[in-house]
Amino acid sequence: MATKNLSEYNAAKVPDASNMTFGIVVSEWNPEITGALLDGCVTTLEKHGALTENIHVKTVPGSFELIYGARQMTLNDGYDAIIVLGCVIRGETPHFDYICQGVTQGIARLNATNNIPVVFGLLTTENMQQAQDRAGGRLGNKGDECAVVAIKMAKF
């Protein structure tokens, strides 16, 4: 369980993002959650100076496809950072484990083999309530956290 509010951070430690361009790949699966993550992410990027026209959003059908979407964005030299946003909720089959492991390994591989940081914004929760808590609920919004991480990594 998250031990802190995902939306709390020291804004003074976040670099200015006004000259940065961001790619965001968001899963269409669990749209009430991924839509909230995307809203938080974009709002936080803009709060730190990112221009609306420098935030490019692409959708993919599910969380596993986040890897392909992020990879395609790494091929465009115009991004300072890429953010992937998705949500997988545990069900009754091992599908959850395969998807979570695959996406984690795929994003890790992209970070190890490319010059553009890819920020991992995949919620992996036991139930819908946990996802809601992390998508603007009582634990804040993981999208906010991902935006701050992307700005910091782009400046790295």
**Catalytic residue positions, numbered:** 95
Beta strands in 13-109 (DSSP E): 22-27, 55-60, 81-89
Yes or no: say if 119 and 84 are a contact pair by the CB < 8 Å rule. yes
Q: Is the dihedral of CA 46, 51, 53, 59 positive or negative?
A: negative
Strand order in the sheet with 55-60: 55-60, 22-27, 81-89, 118-125
Residue 104, Cβ density class (10 Å: 0-12 exposed, 13-18 middle, ≥19 buried): middle
Tokens for 138?
């009582």
